[in-house]
């Protein structure tokens, strides 16, 4: 281990080099700060994630100066989104966000490599195959990191700021005492996905991202580079075992239940092996403290069913880096800036968190949703895609007045199970009222259980080694 005199000193150590870590590093390095990013992976490297990015996420890539590199992998520009439920479909164009009117679906190895290269270009040092072993402290303040290099040897680095951008099983969160979330929600949906050659190469399908609902399962189709596509099934998490035992049998079964999905993907060839998980609980961890902060999934994860994780990891990684860079030499102002960045993340993510929790419930296709799709497809405004693009949150697009109109139409439609519809309405109202309440009252690090949250969630523990179970009524870890 180097002597203290020889010890390396940087302004910030960032643990994790993907969406959040690279974004934070780019922001700080551009502001002239000395930044060391470490990742235990070597890039390019894959990670368990699908990777649809709506225009607001692509706009984040542009802000970071990473878009041109990311585009080199050749992912098609998808200008339309389609949501269908039991055959009732709504197709809409995306509206531009910062001039970007298309979604992209770049596989993670090339995407993350582009982020790492952009961070290096901005001036950050990215050290691969290097892990955080521990956070170092002085008088209750994080003052650096103990790192484990590719040869297994450990060494210390001094830093004014340690950012944990090391994913859901964050070691940093564990070392700063924030591993147990103060709020969260059980997910009930699993993810099972394949890549395949697109049977509709060269057609308009290549410019459209799909969410096709039938029965209890959503089938999602995202066009990828090289005329490939990603086919994702999001059904009950309890079916992930069946997927693992018989992936092709499940593929056949779910397409048989979903004629629109079958029309889109039948004839697909060169299927990869299945990738799957049944464990994607949503949560918030305390994300800042003296000399440290958590970025991306390390601090907050929302259900992937709404495809917002990469966007938020990039956006709030950047926001954190921009807030920290000018005040990194002043501990008091630095801590205040870290706290303000955390508050901003919470404020901007609350509605999507509740929306994701809602969408991860396992419920049959709702007559209300079908009415909404009919309305949005007919009128083309308001914009259903605004919800995915974060232009307006779901509870604003589907506000109470519109909800009442749609509910009346659904009630009057022949064949509607009115009792089930009333039950659904009660539940939706309860959740939306709570979502509005959170928006209006803006509590910081709330610890009561909110209506969208389901108990019994587990999140990966330290470095993914052990899950931490956090009942929502567990004692809050609040600074
Ligand atoms: C199944 C699934 C599907 C998803 N689909 C989508 C989607 O379609 N669209 C979307 O926007 N989001 C999606 N998400 C969410 C998205 O993957 C995440 O929100 C995003 O990857 C978060 O980025 P991050 O940089 O915070 O963390 P990560 O991408 O998890 O990166 C963390 C990095 O930290 C490194 N690391 C961990 N521990 C250490 C350590 N001790 N020392 C050094 N390095 C360490 C890891 O090697 C890794 O490179 C999905 C998530 C899942 C699980």
Q: List the chain domain ranges.
A: 4-51+107-184+281-357, 191-277, 362-441
Give the mean pLDDT of 386-405: 92
At 406 the three-state DSSP class reads helix
At 313 the three-state DSSP class reads helix
For residue 382, pLDDT over 80 is answered with no
- Site to probe by mutation for ligand 1, drawn from 56, 58, 313, 319 as the one with most ligand atoms within 8 Å of Cβ, is 313
DSSP letter (8 states) at residue 236: B
Note whether 81 and 92 are within 8 A (CB): yes
Class of domain 191-277: alpha beta
φ and ψ of 131, to 5 deg: -115, 150
286-307 pLDDT, tens digit per residue, is 999 999 999 999 999 999 999 9
Q: What is the pTM of this model?
A: 0.95
Q: Exposed/middle/buried for 446, CB within 10 Å: 0-12, 13-18, 19+?
A: middle
- Site to probe by mutation for ligand 1, drawn from 49, 135, 277 as the one with most ligand atoms within 8 Å of Cβ, is 49
Give percent helix, percent strand, percent coil of the chain, each to the nearest 5: 40, 25, 35
Percent of the chain with pLDDT over 90: 91
With cut-offs at 50, 70 and 90, classify the pLDDT of residue 460.
Answer: confident
Which uninterrupted H or E stretch holds 375?
Answer: helix 367-379
User: From the CB of residue 355, how many other CB atoms can be counted at a distance below 10 Å?
Assistant: 26
According to DSSP, the β-strands at 208-214 and 80-85 are parallel
Do 4-51+107-184+281-357 and 191-277 show the same overall fold? Answer: no
For residue 470, pLDDT over 60 is answered with no
Confidence (pLDDT) at 463: 45
With cut-offs at 50, 70 and 90, classify the pLDDT of residue 145.
Answer: very high
Among 122, 119, 118, which Cα is nearest to 31's?
Answer: 122
Question: How far is it, in rounded angstroms, from Cα 109 to Cα 102?
Answer: 21
Question: How far is it, in rounded angstroms, from Cα 408 to Cα 355?
Answer: 22
**Pocket-forming residues, ligand 1, beta carbon under 6 Å:** 15-21, 38-41, 47-53, 131-132, 165-167, 171, 191, 277, 280, 296-298, 304, 307-311, 313, 463
Class of domain 4-51+107-184+281-357: alpha beta
Give the mean pLDDT of 388-397: 93
Mean pLDDT of the chain: 94
List, as one string, the DSSP characters of 85-136. ETTEEEEEEPPPBTTB--BEE--HHHHHHHHHHHHHHHT-EEESS-EEEEEE
Is the Cα dihedral 107, 179, 128, 277 positive or negative? negative
């Amino acid at each position: 281990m180097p002597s203290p005199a020889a010890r390396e000193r940087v302004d910030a150590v960032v643990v994790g080099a993907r969406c959040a870590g690279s974004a934070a590093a780019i922001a700080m390095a551009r502001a002239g700060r000395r930044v060391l990013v470490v990742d235990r992976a070597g890039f390019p490297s894959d990670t368990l994630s699908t990777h649809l990015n709506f225009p607001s996420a692509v706009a984040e890539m542009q802000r970071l100066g990473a878009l041109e590199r990311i585009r080199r992998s050749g992912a098609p520009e998808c200008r339309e989104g389609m949501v269908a439920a039991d055959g009732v479909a709504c197709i809409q164009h995306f509206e531009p966000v910062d001039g970007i009117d298309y979604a992209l679906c770049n596989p993670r190895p090339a995407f993350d490599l582009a982020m790492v290269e952009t961070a290096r270009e901005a001036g950050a040092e990215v050290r691969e195959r290097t892990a955080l072993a521990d956070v170092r402290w002085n008088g209750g303040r994080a003052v650096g990191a103990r790192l484990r290099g590719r040869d297994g040897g450990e060494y210390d680095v001094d830093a004014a700021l340690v950012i944990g951008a090391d994913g859901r099983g964050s070691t940093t969160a564990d070392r700063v005492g924030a591993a147990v979330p103060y709020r969260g929600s059980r997910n009930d949906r699993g993810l099972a996905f394949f890549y395949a050659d697109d049977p509709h190469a060269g057609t308009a399908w290549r410019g459209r991202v799909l969410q096709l609902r039938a029965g209890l399962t959503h089938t999602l189709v995202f066009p990828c580079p090289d005329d490939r596509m990603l086919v994702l099934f999001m059904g009950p998490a309890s079916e992930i075992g069946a997927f693992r035992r018989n992936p092709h049998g499940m593929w056949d079964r779910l397409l048989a239940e979903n004629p629109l999905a079958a029309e889109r993907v039948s004839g697909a060839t060169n299927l990869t092996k299945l990738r799957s998980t049944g464990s994607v609980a949503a949560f918030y961890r305390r994300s800042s403290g003296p000399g440290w902060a958590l970025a991306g999934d390390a601090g907050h994860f929302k259900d992937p069913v709404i495809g917002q994780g990469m966007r938020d990891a990039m956006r709030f990684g950047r926001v954190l880096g921009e807030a920290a860079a000018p005040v990194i030499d002043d501990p008091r102002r630095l801590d205040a800036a870290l706290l303000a960045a955390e508050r901003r993340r919470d404020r901007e993510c609350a509605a999507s968190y509740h929306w994701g929790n809602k969408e991860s419930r396992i419920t049959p296709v709702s007559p209300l949703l079908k009415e909404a799709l009919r309305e949005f497809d007919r009128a083309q405004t308001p914009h259903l895609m605004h919800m995915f693009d974060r232009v307006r949150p779901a509870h604003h697009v589907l506000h109470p007045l519109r909800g009442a109109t749609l509910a009346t139409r659904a009630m009057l439609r022949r064949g509607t199970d009115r009792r089930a519809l009333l039950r659904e309405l009660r539940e939706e109202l309860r959740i939306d009222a709570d979502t509005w309440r959170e928006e209006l009252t803006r509590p910081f690090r709330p610890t009561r259980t909110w209506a969208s949250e389901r108990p019994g969630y587990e999140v990966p523990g330290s470095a993914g080694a052990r899950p931490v179970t956090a009942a929502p009524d567990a004692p809050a870890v609040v600074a």
